[in-house]
Structure 1
């Protein structure tokens, strides 16, 4: 059986084992220790944000971020429809209502036009709107100038879901540093990984301390167990933070490799007019976490995905829009059918940072073999 080619597998730096051995030898294996402090500082410094809190998933970071923004039962939170469910799930955890926004066709991110419509509607209807979640889809930054201006005008804070976009930037500001709160994921498929993990970025120490309190079961600073609030078991392990330290050392290399993958695919497929790639808009820098494209013929994505699967190569459809998901379809939606169309015509190609030239050539050969000739 040939070696499988996965969509976005982990890629170790070679330094992880030594750091793990040091951590185990120290016996600091709980969610407390020097590795956590170091990893948090690395990410905060990289993004030019004052404070960071390492947690056990990007979802946990979003949940804590919404709590920091005082999202409560009966409130509303705006978020894009074209994203992973983890963006919206914490809204519902808090008893709030998500309002889904359509994509714009260039970057596939939240449409500023439809965001403006939703913000105006919330004001007219006097809805308690507590936050706007912005996602940088597949590593491509959203149109943050327009989005930030709209949110400032309507006095609504931004939670920046940069789970897929570590290392991306817009107008020289790193993804994760535009919002009032920033979030990253270090899941096994992300550009760097801690196996499972996430990071919350904030601008005030008091906010970090509040999030840390919630993330460690809301235990009061007393000699006995005393709780005045509901807490969560959200802190990252000091062991997994060792992986993060090692991975941060190669982040720029991983970004360069993913961008090289994109450029290879784009160059190899440039003559096929039925293929369009997710755009990198002016003043933005995508980390190209995943290389994603659309086909004019809606039958091609699944046809190509299955042809790749025969050779044990993994490709995936674009995210299914959340307003089409059974669990979310009763919530408000502002838009047309841009996200639906992207879902129908889109495909995510293998994008791992360890892909070899031969593997890339094999993938392209299978794709072109399924395209109409002439």
Structure 2
């Protein structure tokens, strides 16, 4: 059946059209320009950091932070096992080795207790750990109050993958303001989009300047083309930044719409035994990017795969929760610190439509699919 309700389609309209049209008419089509400068300043101001560097993707931001910190061959980087592959891929780009750490079963975010266990284990083996990466899964910030303390006590850099959490808050601060640096993603399915794009956020002026240089092929500030280190073509374009500025002006309303759907899902499953949201009870600080449910096979009247099948029959897109990195064939054989939480979330979790464009009629179709679970 043709999909009628998508997970998280882009939510763009006349506001974004006007921003992009003005950028086109200004003549600043590529590569950089005043809209990129303004977009960086607006994001930095909203998050409360000193520097923002617009890049082609969140993956590029992860990569360039690691490059700038000199992470490379022989180094180990802590990576949550419950994440999208880009987090681990960026570590491999620089020749370092990911060590995967399991998650808090309530939220899917990296477990601070297991993080400490992993660091003790790696220290005992003589591994050279340089960086901890934390990921804000599905719009809920990781436990930064504890994770920042752990990283600081070990003298480690903390890189926050906030690709899924822009607009959320954690430990009393905006997502993207934690750690030594953070990254955002503006991919087409995120809370706000620049079609494709990302950003590095930091209070470290030297890091921001180096990332900006690396992202434009590492050209030296001389009249001719001079390069003393390897660079990358990772800069965000002025036109896409203009689209982002339009989205940013609507961000709070789009998050509020997603929050309404989160509440509607909580009500929808309230009387179904064995089904819970992969989110804390108090999710007022989340951006509610995507809503996922976890189905307990011993208590629920149906299984996770039954829910997914019913969604498909009704033309509603759903998907499994991220497959843990330690279970991915490409990362087979890498070290990890696990307790089974991520495996259980993957086995029994389903992600449901959560976009700010979703209508009441769309949600009625989702509700019908839930009511029909098990019916053939």
- TM-score using structure 1 length: 0.96
2:269–2:276: 8 Å Cα contact kept in structure 1? Answer: no
Give a deviation string over 1:16-55, Cα, whole Å, max 9, x none: 1122121112221112100001100111011101000000
The residue aligned with 1:24 is 24
2:11 maps to 1:11: yes
2:25 is paired with a residue whose SS is helix
Match of 2:303 in 1: 300
Note if 1:252 corresponds to 2:252. yes
Instruction: Determine the structure 1 residue equivalent to 2:164.
Output: 164
Query: How far did 1:108 drift?
Result: 1.1
Shift, 1:284, TM fit: 6.9
For structure 2, the 5+ residue unaligned runs are none
1:364 paired with 2:353, answer no
User: CA shift at 1:211, angstroms?
Assistant: 0.5
Query: How many angstroms does 1:125 deviate by?
Result: 2.3
Match of 1:199 in 2: 199
Aligned to 1:78: 78
Cα separation, partners in 2 of 1:170 and 1:223, compared to 1, 3 Å: same
Could you tell which deviates more after superposition, 81-90 or 171-180? 171-180
Partner of 2:312: 309
**Do the aligned residues in 2 keep the contact of 1:70 with 1:130 (CA within 8 Å)?**
no
- Once the two structures are overlaid, the 10-residue window that deviates more, 16-25 or 70-79, is 16-25
Q: How does 1:60-71 map to 2 (within 5 A)?
A: 60-71=60-71
Superposition misfits of 4+ residues, deviation over 3 angstroms: 281-284
Q: Is the 8 A contact 1:13 1:246 kept in 2?
A: no
Give 1:235 shift.
Answer: 0.1
Deviates more, 1:353-362 or 1:41-50: 353-362
Q: Deviations over 1:298-337 (max 9, x none)?
A: 8722222122122221001000000000001211110111
Single out whichever of 355-364 and 106-115 deviates more from structure 2: 355-364
- Structure 2 Cα separation of the partners of residues 245 and 202 of structure 1: 20
Q: How many Å separate the matches in 2 of 1:38 and 1:302?
A: 45
Give the superposed CA RMSD: 1.6
Structure 1 stretch displaced more, 343-352 or 274-283: 274-283
Please name the residue that 1:280 is paired with: 280
For residue 359 of structure 1, give the secondary structure of its aligned residue in structure 2. Answer: helix
Deviations 1:137-194 (A, max 9, x none): 0001111111111111111111000000001111320111111011000000000000
In structure 1, runs of 5+ residues without a counterpart are none
Q: CA deviation at 1:356?
A: 1.2
